[in-house]
Amino acid sequence: MDKTTPKPSSAPSYLDAAHGWRSWLLTRDHKRIAMLYLTAISVFFVAGVTIGVAMRLELMAPGRTIMGPQTYNALFTLHGVIMIFLFIIPGIPAVFGNFVLPLQIGAEDVFFPRLNLFSWYLYMFGAVFALSTLFIGGLPDTGWTFYVPFSTTTKTNVTLATLAVFILGFSSIVTGLNFITTVHRLRRPGLGWMQLPLFTWSVYATAWVQVLATPVIGITLLLIIAERLFGIGLFDPAKGGDPILYQHLFWLYSHPAVYIMILPAMGVVSEVIPTFSRKRVFGYNAIVYSTLGIAVVGSLVWAHHMFTSGMSDTAVFVFSLLTFLVAVPSAVKVFNWVATLYKGSIDLSPPLLFALFFIYLFSFGGLGGLVLGAAGTNIHVHDTQFVVGHFHYVMFGGAGMAFFAALHYWFPKMFGRMYDIDSANWGAWILFIGFNLLYFPMQVLGLQGMPRRYYDYVPHFKRLNALSTIGSWILAVGLVILIYNLIHSILYGRKITQDPWIGTTLEWTTATPPPTENFPADAEKEQSAA
Amino acid sequence: MTAAHLNQDAEGSRLGMWLFLFSELMLFGGLFIVYAVYLARYPADFAAAGHELNSWLGATNTVVLLTSSLLAAMAVSAVQMDKRRLAVALISGTLLCAAVFLCIKYVEWGAKFAHGLYPNASELSERPHGQILFFGLYFMITGLHAVHVLAGATLLAISLGLIGRGKITCHRYVFLENSALYWHLVDLIWIFIFPLFYLIV
């Protein structure tokens, strides 16, 4: 196939192929399913941000500012559940994996199109369950980790919330197995494993973690439900059970889940940086192997969340060592990205800007992660605002920024329209400044000893908290600019039919936006040959 | 055109099923880890509680499930050889075994309930910790397994319908093959459950 000039196709784009709500809600087209995810995920993201800003507002001054302790506890739980299970975990794989992965391997769709739609419905079903706790039985106040014994004794509706997470996990497993099968069976003939685009590689590696790790949290949450409904006693010390075992099982999934969040983000960055440096990516093989390395080693570090929970010194030592080991493949990637930029012909468009923010924020957060992963310093900062700051640096600064990079990179392909570059740049910079102002003080506060998950604090911490709250407003302004720019562009943006970025992967070789069959000219060729 | 093309890639469909089976193994794997931890902590209690399960009923159920797996595998071969009637008979046999298994399970659970050996029962609560956990795990694991028996039987029943409507033929039988694979997994998990609960000393 000629790579530079997309063939003009008579086939209508996937957006115009059919009309009416049925054509969307019953679609099996991976691109339309990606749109369904994008819509839902955006709504939940905005809801999560709103709750986050409200929590920051409460923390602006000591004492009760706008809400009491119970509301605050419920909100940080809801914020966590929404952001983790409804935004970051499905974010990049379900939206961009769905849209881009089949295109990048030259396929017409994913391997199981019906299953793909089914997993979107599971996702929506789980989301409705999670949010219905707002009205039924009271919002859980346990935090998104649902730690026992509190989660099995609190009067709030933990049962419904954990059931929701179970369903969301099932959706994630189904998506994962769909992607693995797709990459194995639907690659264009001649497209070998070591020629796969790096985004496809990262979604593939993530899919394995999704399939193998998610069931563990599924069973753990079922045990919570069984404990609440029947009192089977597995985590209840009064019956001989062990609460620490719950923490092990929970993190056995939830730490690999961190890599479910970050690996696809790294894949996005590995696509964006070469495209906007006009260079081949530096060390393709190293990036592939470090992706797989992170997927494997990342599954063996879970107990570093539990250094203060009670473990043998040997276990602390081993898990601390393994934690440090994950830093190696992560650093390999950062090195590769920076080396790709070196002597490149750099075009600082919004996607690259977000990718650079990613590198900076992720590296910063990652270094904080080493402070947390070291057994000694961990004791000092455990359960403080330092953890909250670190987590947001790697997750929001990492996966979140990459989500925006992906959105600004593939937006023209998805909608066939261009957004306003200046607004995107302004929004990105304001977001970045607000971000650092919001989360950096948290790290300092944590080092000074301010615990997390409290709606109140001693007056000593007043100034930095006020600064952090102001940061949350600036961040919100940046987000409003970005989101307004994109929505406005979907409706009124300049129409384009060409690849605006001169990308080299297969998704840029078909029409913009792609027709339903993705590569209709090739399909005809195949049929006439058969 | 190519949608049918996709569906005929039986190898891909099988790969999808295998991946799903891996995730099922991890699901039960979590429970087996919990079992291992508490067995190491309370070996004597586990042995004492294990003696209260009826190992004859457990052994019968093991034979029933193994037979059903054999019938399911034979059904796949029968479809491959285009012997539809034989296949229908064999799948019906598998479903019958599933029903027998669940009936025996019901009798066993019923007996335990009658003796007050269920979670939160006052009878069980007075026992040593290890026994409480043993029965908690027993109901959790065999209950979850029974749910899987129902799911597997549903898949096989659908296959039966598809054979009747000519949707599963000697050229296209991957749905039946995958249902049988799932059924073997249900069987395999029971092979681990049986010694862990009934034969423990």
Q: What is the SS3 assignment for A194?
A: helix
The whole-number pLDDT of residue B2 equals: 43
Q: What is the SS3 assignment for A475?
A: helix
Determine if residue A505 is left, alpha or beta; phi over 0 gives left, psi from -120 to 50 gives alpha, anything else beta: beta
Cα–Cα dist B4/B7, whole Å = 5
Q: Once rounded to an integer, what is the mean pLDDT over residues B19-26?
A: 96
CATH number for the domain that contains residue B138: 1.20.120.80
- Taking only the tens place, the pLDDT of each residue in A326-383 is 889 999 999 999 999 999 999 999 999 999 999 999 999 999 999 999 988 999 999 9
Number of structural domains in chain B: 1
Is pLDDT above 60 for B6? no
- Distance (Å) from the alpha carbon of A497 to chain B's nearest alpha carbon: 26
Per-residue pLDDT band at A4 (split at 50, 70, 90): very low
Cα–Cα dist A502/A222, whole Å = 49
Is pLDDT above 60 for A9? no
A257 touches chain B (CB under 8 A): no
Choose the closest CB to B23 out of A186, A215, A249: A215
Burial of A310 (0-12, 13-18, 19+ CB in 10 A): exposed
- Distance (Å) from the alpha carbon of B26 to chain A's nearest alpha carbon: 6
Q: Once rounded to an integer, what is the mean pLDDT over residues B169-189?
A: 95
Q: Fill in the amino acid letter for A195.
A: Q
Across the interface, whether the CB atoms of A211 and B38 are under 8 A apart is answered: no
Decide if A216 contacts A252 (C-beta within 8 A): yes
What is the number of other CB atoms lying within 10 angstroms of the CB of residue B127? 19
- Taking only the tens place, the pLDDT of each residue in A195-247 is 999 999 999 999 999 999 999 999 999 999 999 999 999 999 999 999 999 99
Nearest residue on chain A to B127, judged by CA atoms? A239
Domains of chain A are 25-256+402-529 (1.20.210.10)
Q: Once rounded to an integer, what is the mean pLDDT over residues A128-150?
A: 90
The whole-number pLDDT of residue A365 equals: 94
Q: Fill in the amino acid letter for A413.
A: K
Give the residue among A387, A399, A258, A266 at the shortest CA–CA distance from A330: A266
The whole-number pLDDT of residue A173 equals: 96
Residues of A in contact with B3 (CB under 8 A): 113
Is pLDDT above 50 for A2? no
What is the number of other CB atoms lying within 10 angstroms of the CB of residue B54? 14
Is pLDDT above 80 for A103? yes
Q: How many residues does chain A have?
A: 530
The whole-number pLDDT of residue A310 equals: 85
Helix axes B174-198, B129-164, angle to 10 degrees: 160
Provide the CA A183 distance to its chain's centre, in angstroms.
21
Domain ranges, residue B81: 3-198
Choose the closest CB to A230 out of B11, B42, B119: B119
This prediction has a pTM of 0.93
The whole-number pLDDT of residue A523 equals: 61
Per-residue pLDDT band at A526 (split at 50, 70, 90): low
Q: Once rounded to an integer, what is the mean pLDDT over residues A470-492?
A: 97
A239 touches chain B (CB under 8 A): yes
Nearest residue on chain B to A207, judged by CA atoms? B19
Give the residue among B134, B30, B200 at the shortest CA–CA distance from A232: B134
The whole-number pLDDT of residue B4 equals: 44
Q: Once rounded to an integer, what is the mean pLDDT over residues B185-197?
A: 96
Choose the closest CB to A231 out of B9, B27, B119: B119
For residue A173, give Cα distances in angstroms to A36, A105, A259, A372, A497. 18, 21, 15, 30, 35
Across the interface, whether the CB atoms of A245 and B11 are under 8 A apart is answered: no
Cα–Cα dist A18/A15, whole Å = 7
Choose the closest CB to A240 out of B11, B29, B132: B132
The whole-number pLDDT of residue A8 equals: 52
Residues of B in contact with A212 (CB under 8 A): 22-23, 26
Tokens for B134, please give them: 């043993």
**Cα B51–Cα B53–Cα B58 angle in degrees, nearest 5:** 120
The whole-number pLDDT of residue B5 equals: 47
Across the interface, whether the CB atoms of A233 and B119 are under 8 A apart is answered: yes
Burial of A386 (0-12, 13-18, 19+ CB in 10 A): buried
Tokens for B175, please give them: 């749905």
Tokens for A266, please give them: 């790294």
Cα–Cα dist A51/A64, whole Å = 17
Residues of A in contact with B119 (CB under 8 A): 226, 230-233
Q: What is the SS3 assignment for A346?
A: coil
The whole-number pLDDT of residue A64 equals: 93
Cα–Cα dist A439/A361, whole Å = 11
Pick among B23, B33, B138, B182 to test the A interface (most A CBs inside 10 A): B23
Is pLDDT above 90 for B142? yes
Across the interface, whether the CB atoms of B33 and A249 are under 8 A apart is answered: yes
